[in-house]
Structure 1
Amino acid sequence: MQLAVYGQNAQSLKVLVNYFRVKSVPNANFYLHTVGKSGVAKTISYKEERPGSRPISTKTRLEVFAQVQIEAPHVFDGTTRAVYDGASILYSRRAIPQSTFETVKGMTAFVVRLSLDSANIISARDLQALLNQGGGNVGNSLAARTLLQHLIRATPMKTGWLQLKKNSFYTDHREKHLTGGLIAWKGFSQSVRPGSGGLFVNVDVSNIAVYEPGDIVELAMQFLGTKDVRKLRDMEPARLKRLERFLKGLQIHILLGPHRGRVWARPKRISGLVTSGGYHTFMKDNNELTVQAYIEGKYNQRLREPKIFGIRVGTSAVFPAEFCEVMSGQPFKKRLDDEQQRRFIENSTQDPFQRLQMIQDSVSGPNQVFQYSQSPALEGLSIQTRPEDVNAIVLPPAKLDFAGSSMTVKYGKWRVDRVKYSGPGAARTFAVLIFAHGILPVVRDFVSALIPVGEDRVSRNPRIQPRDVYLEECNPANVAGALARITREKFPGVAFLLVVLPASAPFKREIKHWSILKGLPTQCIRDRKFSTKNQYLNNVMLKINAKIGGYSTYVPWLKNLFPNEVVLVMGCDVSHPAPGSNKPSVASLVLSCNREMTSYIPQISVQEPRTEIIREIGPMFKKALAALQNLLKTKNGLKYVQVDHLIVFRDGVSEGEYQQVQQEIDDIEAMLQEYYTYVAAKYKVPKHKPAITFMIVTKRHHTRFFIPQEMARQDKQLNNNCPAGLLVTQTIVPVEYENFYLQSHGGLKGSK
């Protein structure tokens, strides 16, 4: 390892990583079989013939096929124990001729049809090549890797663990309440990871929010923030709709008749809510009945609360909420509110060494979760039970320049409460809108403390006086009116708005949307969270300075990195709506417009929901480049932008989408070619072709690094985390692309 390449003060360091080496793979061929046309075919339900009925969940498919293997030992013996992907592919060590299997689960009959896909075989040689060559694009490596992923996913689990995500398993042990009817569960994720130094299984601690199981009436009261069941009677439409959005799609058990105190064999799924469920009417035998009358007549059970909401199942069936029970282990897929998110993060935060011990215990020892050695499907697959150690590099700390001073970064962080901003923004006037009740005097004190901090950071005269700042208490029910009034009537020349919100402010999005359309920067702070402490005031001022066109510092060596070239940096990302929403995804792009790379030109575009690839990246880049050209023409008189090197940072792309991103690269190249063809024709200059470096920034990859305990004892400021600037370029790094792991900042809490 040549440290000099990374700087004079670079250091080497050996760290542990949550990767477990695969020592051997099955020495067998695996045959692929197609499972039916649509997986498992459902044929009979409640004694009624219903071919081609509703789609069957992956969980049910897996359970049904596990039952088939038990019931057909003549086909699935020890050597042909098969692994099913839950969709359409089955892997077996022996070719199974075309077969049909029938089984019954609960009150439902299923048919499983298998047909051999003779053209697709994953050979023992393919598996061995994956082990030896670290998953490069050699032969059948992708299919072999997919097979191994399904094999380890079929690992027997310790009792009490549920698979709630594709590669993750959870338990209610040490659950934490999040408020609003939700709880947090801890678990583990596992995945096969090829690297340049071999094949590994990555195991990490995972966290998930799930619905509180049990009485759905209690769950509804928790969500609505009440302890009085009477608040659930005769609910107004808006309140009922809000509760319906929270509960819709949940699986429940119905406790009625002989099933009182125990559950029906088959759970139901909530399709909606009705008000006053006991009084809901329906037709039976040409007679109109209420749900209450039907249940009392058929089951001889009296409703305690007929006026509270009812649970709709399917298109027409309605059950009183008091007879419904929420099944355990159902993930919450919507957005957490602020308090839930705070508690969830608090529960997820963990000391690095505690996290490492949990991971170690999950693959070995008395509390082992993943029991790799006990699976017939994993015969021949051997996995090391201690974490891998890898060689890393600690990059030299960066130097930052401020106005009249400089600072060397330590532990990936720096203070700005004693320096002058390099590029102060400009906002001579600002106003404060207060949407929280009864805190006007406290806000005045805050503004009086904030102004001197801002003046200290920018050294600007004349100073803004607190008495010159306009403050107004506003009605949260009329946000649009308050915003319009401040800019049209009260303070038409205002350059910046400070907005004080209550602890819960669903209208914050409305304020930010107005800010973008109006072109007037805003900074929001929360009641009961803002303070006059020096650190808080400086953090707020940092954000304000950036929003009014300034920057606090820059890295001086960036200007010298490409001394004779014009280098632009572009960042791209896509933001998606909450799960289940049909709102569009928003693609965003920023393009640097100064040599310090501290100021950027933004572009946004909407596209189809949950589409990760940026469809309009070419036109967006074209608009940003045109804006940069206009800026340079105004400042320097330049007629066009001569870009020598474009560096693109693309966020939010998963490993499975790397190939699709090539379309974005092609669109950027095409746009640059179009631009410089135009420039060459208009200004009679040689056609130019910039270099492009496209870097995909991947997060949530579950790779965690851990320093030696001796190093942690010697340097308490590390908080048991790896130092900022940790760089890993070998052993576990995938080989398909140029790749590296970089921890660019220090960890305040938890493990990095």
Structure 2
Amino acid sequence: MALQLTDYVLRPNHCQTGKPVRVRSNFFEIQSFPLQVVHHYDINIDQANAPPAVYRKVWKQFEDMGGHGILRGIKTIYDGRKNVFAPKPLQLGPENAGQYEVELHDSDNVGSATKRTGGTFRIRIKKAGEINMDELRRFLNGETRLTPNCLTAIMILDVLIRHLPSMLYATVGRSFFTPQERRSLPNGAEVWQGFYQSARPGIGKMMINVDVSATAFYESDRLPDMTTKILGRRTIDELRRGITDRDRAKLEKALKGLKIQITHRGENNKRKYKILRLTPSAADRTLFQDQDGNEHSVAHYFAKHHNMRLKYPFLPCIVVRKEMFLPMEVCEIVAGQRFMKKLNEKQTAEMIKFTCQKPTIRANKIKQGYSLLQYKDNEYMEQFGMTVKPEMALIKARVLSTPQVSYSSSSQEGTFVPQGGAWNLRGKKVAQGATLGSWSVVNFHAQLPISAIGRFVRELCQTFIDTGLNVINRNPPITHGDPQASVDRTLKEAWLKAGNTAKATPQLILCILPNTGVPLYAEIKRVSDTVIGIPTQCVQSKHINDAKKQYCANVCLKVNMKLGGMNMFLSASQIPFIAERPTIVFGGDVTHPAPGDMNRPSVAAVTASMDARASRYSSAIRVQANRTEIIADLANMIKELLKSFYQACGQKPDRILFYRDGISEGQFSAVLKNEVQQIHAACSSLDKEYKPTITFVVVQKRHHARFFPVEQRDADRTGNCQPGTVVDTEIVHPFEFDFYLQSHAGLQGTSRPTHYHVLYDENKFSADSLQELTYRLCYIYGRATRAVSIVPPAYYADLVAARARFHRRGENWSDTEATSESLDSEQQMASFATVKPELQKGIVHCFFIVKV
């Protein structure tokens, strides 16, 4: 049966342990959907490069005209590209194909250099096939596997629920946005609220997942005001002396490709154009020849021909066609254009404020989304025979019991059960404290008094001692560094001072940073990891004058792990799968460069537990081809980490549990085939007879499932579900082994559960055993005193991959949009430095092996 139903693992059973609770989830049940045959047509519209919104207008116009007689009252749905679906066959004639012309009058076309958005369009329609929708019903009931026909049936429901909203609202992916609820962001952008929707299979039924979403758009503003915002000026008058070449380049980069409309020809003649570039000179110095061959400046031309004296002749003009210049003050940004560039820090901070909504507010907004997305009184859905329940699904969940966390037995209350998913270090000592003898301090903040640094170091040392570290040297030497000068030289000097003072090999450099910016931090990590081979601990200067105990304790946790100590652990009886027999727990992740950057490589990271408590971790890193999702050299990474485990524990692991982050559903098959095979290959390459049992679990955070407690008693203090809430009913896969686990306590906004999906399982986990193990591991993330939202090995892999990005030589971290087009992909990969051998035997936070 397993072979027939799925290539992955069948759900062994449902969760039985923990306290049963009821939660609302943002899924709306599809009560009925078409069970008859749906007719699929291939559509070809002759303008290949037009955006989907234009194709939709063309198809709507075709439909409104009666479809040249072929539709005859049939409501078709269109995906905006190549596919049209109909509840009844279209009358296309004997060959089941036809060709039709549609005239589209679109104001967007006026003044445009191409005819992409208006004119005559030729539509070719051809019958592509018929989809048996009853097969989808059988899949939902666990009677058949997920066939291509089932996937198309799910796509039909997706197109059906998106058809009407996509013609009414700004569409981005699976989300729809309206300007009704928006907020300004710095530098000329604004955030719009929208709604995400997706048709999802559940157990025995189809559901629609509806969520609040948000994205950035350009403000619909006059171009001079937009210029002021982009350049970060308070008023336009600050630009009267002219714009520097650097500001002009920044402005051109921000405006290029934007659509504007002109305002000087009256309300009925607001022609639209795209900005190609800016002129290098101001409007009163930009010259061109008119039709009679006379030379004018743009400012003079507008005064003479439009009786308009420019207010801002000092601003450059925009170029919209060859030799067609427009002064900025007659242009305004067309509304509803998506902001495609990377948000800067200030914009991101404002975006987070806008999107951070308490669970009750988010739940109410999702209910509003139900109305906006028009599931009721929708003539397309009516004709396809689809109805949707008007309330969010009420589903059964369970709250798993909280594990006991253990610190040193010499602590007051060394073993305890955390309340509400978090605790503090008061009265607790780390399980195994490291010894700190040879270290030094580097101060990169010029205005910080030496006395304040001394006080901070004393407070830090006392906290270290109170928390169980052995601090031999309480007066480390202090070096003053210039963030603009050679960080390499400064850290080498600090390393020498540490060694000379303690007459021992340096263990740590504490770095005081002037701000939270990335460039200095990135350079410190590159030098410490790849040049001098010593752990560094960075602290922000704002904490130095007021050294809070809690902050010092958090620093202590990180330092102890970097020096090889252990902060806390779970008793063997709570993690039997790991403790009873030699077991290694892996985490894997691949991080990619910023969207649009096709040059920089991707970075793969794998972490692995090195003890019977799954508390200490080592890691391996590889640089691989841009946007490659599969971990290319996984076999060798696994091999290295298995060898490290053997050296640390004196035995080979009998069992492997691998948590793989960053994989979407569409990649399951490739990952199962490739990565599980590589794990097997790694084991047999060490010893032909070595065959540990393997379980491979995908960890997903990028989804839109949210849970809302029904009863107040089942909520935590932020109104979210309690830590340990697990869902493996109704909204999960019809028969595969997956579950949602909300393992952390809410901090702000609505918590996002993590979705775990088991692709391969030779260890024969029950639902309870895997869910409980996963949840309990979330309590021993070494750097925090709270349960985390994602299982620690996967969390560590994500951190390590992000850290490895700093190992690239010559990277300019101050420019977030910088791309390195001058280097080809091989040079790019070779530009990553190898980590020093001294750090290759440490724990996860300072252990890297980089190979290309």
- Tell me which amino acid in the other structure corresponds to 1:58: P
> CA–CA distance in 2 between the matches of 1:133 and 1:147?
20
Aligned to 1:590, what secondary structure does the other structure show?
strand
Are 1:497 and 2:510 an aligned pair?
A: yes
Per the normalisation by structure 2, the TM-score is 0.76
- How much has 1:156 moved relative to structure 2? 4.3
> Counterpart of 1:470?
478
Of 25-34 and 196-205, deviating more is 25-34
Question: What residue ranges of structure 2 are gaps of 5+ in the alignment?
Answer: 1-10, 110-117, 501-505, 752-852
> CA–CA distance in 1 between the matches of 2:296 and 2:634?
59
- How much has 1:397 moved relative to structure 2? 0.4
- Give the direction of change, closer, same or farther, for the CA distance of 1:141–1:497 in structure 2 (3 Å limit): same
Are 1:150 and 2:159 an aligned pair?
A: yes
CA RMSD of aligned residues (A): 3.3
- How much has 1:257 moved relative to structure 2? 4.3
> Counterpart of 1:683?
none
> Counterpart of 2:582?
566
> CA–CA distance in 2 between the matches of 1:648 and 1:508?
31
- How much has 1:21 moved relative to structure 2? 0.6
Q: Judge conservation of contact 1:17–1:389 (CA < 8 Å) in 2.
A: yes
- Give the direction of change, closer, same or farther, for the CA distance of 1:288–1:538 in structure 2 (3 Å limit): farther
Q: Judge conservation of contact 1:135–1:199 (CA < 8 Å) in 2.
A: no
Choose from 541, 555, 561 the match for 2:556.
541
Choose from 626, 639, 643 the match for 1:609.
626
> CA–CA distance in 2 between the matches of 1:63 and 1:166?
18
- How much has 1:287 moved relative to structure 2? 7.6
Matches within 5 A, 1:16-31: 16-31=24-39
> CA–CA distance in 2 between the matches of 1:253 and 1:125?
49
Are 1:215 and 2:222 an aligned pair?
A: yes
- How much has 1:194 moved relative to structure 2? 0.7
> CA–CA distance in 1 between the matches of 2:610 and 2:154?
43
Aligned to 2:470, what secondary structure does the other structure show?
coil
Matches within 5 A, 1:148-297: 148-156=157-165, 161-163=169-171, 165-232=172-239, 234-249=242-257, 251-255=258-262, 257-259=264-266, 264-268=270-274, 270-278=275-283, 279-280=285-286, 290-292=297-299, 295=302
Are 1:327 and 2:334 an aligned pair?
A: yes
Q: Judge conservation of contact 2:19–2:398 (CA < 8 Å) in 1.
A: yes
- Give the direction of change, closer, same or farther, for the CA distance of 1:329–1:469 in structure 2 (3 Å limit): farther
Question: What residue ranges of structure 1 are gaps of 5+ in the alignment?
Answer: 43-51, 681-686
- How much has 1:516 moved relative to structure 2? 3.0
Matches within 5 A, 1:500-511: 500-504=513-517, 506-511=519-524
> Counterpart of 2:23?
15
- Give the direction of change, closer, same or farther, for the CA distance of 1:722–1:86 in structure 2 (3 Å limit): same
Aligned to 1:692, what secondary structure does the other structure show?
strand
> CA–CA distance in 2 between the matches of 1:4 and 1:91?
37
- How much has 1:132 moved relative to structure 2? 5.3
> CA–CA distance in 2 between the matches of 1:547 and 1:289?
69
> Counterpart of 1:49?
none
- Tell me which amino acid in the other structure corresponds to 2:571: P
- How much has 1:218 moved relative to structure 2? 2.2
Q: Deviations over 1:557-610 (max 9, x none)?
A: 366324453211111112222222233222222122222222222222233333
Of 470-479 and 694-703, deviating more is 470-479
Q: Judge conservation of contact 2:510–2:539 (CA < 8 Å) in 1.
A: no
> CA–CA distance in 1 between the matches of 2:294 and 2:620?
62
- Tell me which amino acid in the other structure corresponds to 2:524: I
Choose from 464, 478, 490 the match for 1:454.
464
Choose from 688, 706, 709 the match for 1:707.
709
> Counterpart of 1:65?
59
Q: Judge conservation of contact 2:259–2:272 (CA < 8 Å) in 1.
A: no
Of 15-24 and 176-185, deviating more is 176-185
Matches within 5 A, 1:392-431: 392-404=397-409, 405-431=414-440
Aligned to 2:663, what secondary structure does the other structure show?
coil
> CA–CA distance in 2 between the matches of 1:544 and 1:316?
63
Q: Judge conservation of contact 1:651–1:697 (CA < 8 Å) in 2.
A: yes
- How much has 1:722 moved relative to structure 2? 0.7
* Corresponding pairs, count: 706
Choose from 670, 678, 685 the match for 1:668.
678
Q: Judge conservation of contact 2:199–2:207 (CA < 8 Å) in 1.
A: yes
- Give the direction of change, closer, same or farther, for the CA distance of 1:171–1:642 in structure 2 (3 Å limit): same
- How much has 1:297 moved relative to structure 2? 5.7
- Give the direction of change, closer, same or farther, for the CA distance of 1:28–1:393 in structure 2 (3 Å limit): same
- How much has 1:283 moved relative to structure 2? 7.0
- How much has 1:142 moved relative to structure 2? 0.6
Matches within 5 A, 1:573-584: 573-582=589-598, 583-584=600-601
Are 1:105 and 2:119 an aligned pair?
A: no
> Counterpart of 2:736?
737
Aligned to 1:140, what secondary structure does the other structure show?
helix
Choose from 383, 386, 396 the match for 2:391.
386
> CA–CA distance in 2 between the matches of 1:336 and 1:697?
27
> Counterpart of 2:378?
375
- How much has 1:739 moved relative to structure 2? 0.6
- Tell me which amino acid in the other structure corresponds to 1:66: K
Q: Judge conservation of contact 1:588–1:605 (CA < 8 Å) in 2.
A: yes
Aligned to 1:66, what secondary structure does the other structure show?
helix
> Counterpart of 1:684?
none
Of 691-700 and 351-360, deviating more is 351-360
- How much has 1:747 moved relative to structure 2? 1.0
Matches within 5 A, 1:678-693: 679-680=687-688, 687-693=689-695
- How much has 1:726 moved relative to structure 2? 0.8
Q: Deviations over 1:7-34 (max 9, x none)?
A: 5xx2111211111110011354322222
Aligned to 1:354, what secondary structure does the other structure show?
helix
Q: Judge conservation of contact 1:311–1:319 (CA < 8 Å) in 2.
A: yes
- Give the direction of change, closer, same or farther, for the CA distance of 1:70–1:528 in structure 2 (3 Å limit): farther
> Counterpart of 1:521?
535
Choose from 121, 124, 138 the match for 2:130.
121
> Counterpart of 1:657?
667
> Counterpart of 1:46?
none
Aligned to 1:183, what secondary structure does the other structure show?
strand
Q: Judge conservation of contact 1:191–1:203 (CA < 8 Å) in 2.
A: yes
Q: Judge conservation of contact 1:500–1:524 (CA < 8 Å) in 2.
A: yes
> CA–CA distance in 2 between the matches of 1:199 and 1:5?
22
> CA–CA distance in 1 between the matches of 2:268 and 2:442?
55
Q: Judge conservation of contact 1:435–1:500 (CA < 8 Å) in 2.
A: yes
Aligned to 1:580, what secondary structure does the other structure show?
coil
Q: Judge conservation of contact 1:126–1:139 (CA < 8 Å) in 2.
A: no
Of 452-461 and 378-387, deviating more is 452-461
Q: Deviations over 1:200-247 (max 9, x none)?
A: 111111122333221233233223321143554643344333344433
Q: Judge conservation of contact 2:398–2:727 (CA < 8 Å) in 1.
A: yes
> CA–CA distance in 1 between the matches of 2:127 and 2:199?
24
How much identity, in percent, do the aligned residues show?
Answer: 26
- Tell me which amino acid in the other structure corresponds to 1:567: T
Of 491-500 and 446-455, deviating more is 491-500
> Counterpart of 1:45?
none
> Counterpart of 1:552?
567
> CA–CA distance in 2 between the matches of 1:306 and 1:550?
66
Aligned to 1:341, what secondary structure does the other structure show?
helix
> CA–CA distance in 2 between the matches of 1:207 and 1:321?
30
Q: Judge conservation of contact 1:255–1:262 (CA < 8 Å) in 2.
A: no
Matches within 5 A, 1:301-380: 301-313=308-320, 318-363=325-370, 368-379=371-382, 380=385
Of 533-542 and 80-89, deviating more is 533-542
